[in-house]
């Protein structure tokens, strides 16, 4: 299931990116049609279409709320200056942290870092990890983290990611 969910995150990222790009260009973009095209392309390897759909649709629906949480974490890099792929990776992970109680926080953050390593620029993974590490701490303190299942090893508390690098 883990590899199917990883593929689901990749598809969600690609669909959100395409939807954002096409919408910004004035095209009549349909997230459902974009997702369906990706599902057909990956039908043999993707067993959890519902997870992927919920993730992509949830991020698009809650984009403004997610951006309000992300924006103050890195004031030196306003959202309009963050590369779109990094921005969407952050949105996906924050959505998972807040709304996907079946995903342990550590998994959501680690997946975001892996997506940033693969699809982002040279420093994307460090930036994503720093932003999510800080945001995870803030969300934990305010009780906004979705209650995820216990992680392997029996612990129900997710380990916080590495602290952001000091400037």
Q: Is the pLDDT of residue 103 over 60?
A: yes
Measured CA to CA, the distance from residue 152 to residue 159 in angstroms comes to: 12
Residue 163: predicted pLDDT: 43
Tokens of 20: 């954002």
Is residue 118 located within the same domain as residue 48?
A: no
Identify the CATH number of the domain in which residue 125 sits: 1.10.940.10
Residue 149: predicted pLDDT: 54
Is residue 38 located within the same domain as residue 107?
A: no
Classify residue 139: in a domain, yes or no: yes
Is residue 14 located within the same domain as residue 75?
A: no
Query: Up-side HSE of residue 21: CA atoms within 13 Å toward CB?
Result: 11
Classify residue 57: in a domain, yes or no: no
pLDDT in tens, 14-48: 999 999 998 877 777 899 999 999 999 998 888 88
Classify residue 161: in a domain, yes or no: no
Buried b (16+ CB within 10 A) or exposed e, 125-155: bbbbbbbbbbbbeebeeeeebbebeeeeeee
Is residue 19 located within the same domain as residue 39?
A: yes
Number of domains into which the chain is organized? 2
82 is in which domain, residue-wise? 62-147
Average pLDDT over residues 90-119: 95
Is residue 112 located within the same domain as residue 84?
A: yes
Nearest to 20 by CA among 93, 79, 75: 79
Proportion of the chain above pLDDT 90, given as a percent: 68
Residue 147: predicted pLDDT: 61
Supply the pTM of this predicted model: 0.84
Is residue 84 located within the same domain as residue 45?
A: no
Is residue 70 located within the same domain as residue 38?
A: no
pLDDT in tens, 70-102: 999 988 889 999 999 999 999 999 999 999 988
Classify residue 22: in a domain, yes or no: yes
């Amino acid at each position: 299931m883990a590899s199917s969910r990883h593929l689901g995150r990749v598809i969600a990222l690609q669909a959100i990116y395409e939807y954002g790009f096409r919408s910004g260009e004035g095209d009549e973009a349909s997230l459902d049609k974009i997702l369906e095209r990706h599902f057909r392309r990956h039908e043999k390897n993707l067993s959890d279409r519902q997870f992927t759909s919920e993730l992509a649709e949830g991020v698009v629906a809650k984009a403004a709320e997610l951006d309000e949480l992300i924006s103050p974490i890195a004031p030196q890099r306003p959202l309009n200056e963050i590369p779109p792929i990094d921005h969407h990776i952050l949105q996906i992970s924050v959505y998972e942290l807040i709304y996907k109680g079946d995903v342990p926080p550590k998994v959501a953050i680690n997946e975001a870092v892996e997506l940033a390593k693969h699809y982002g620029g040279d420093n994307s993974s460090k930036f994503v990890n720093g932003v999510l590490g800080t945001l995870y701490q803030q969300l934990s303190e305010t009780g906004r983290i979705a209650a995820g299942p216990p992680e392997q090893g029996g612990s129900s508390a997710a380990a916080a990611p590495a602290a952001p690098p000091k400037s």
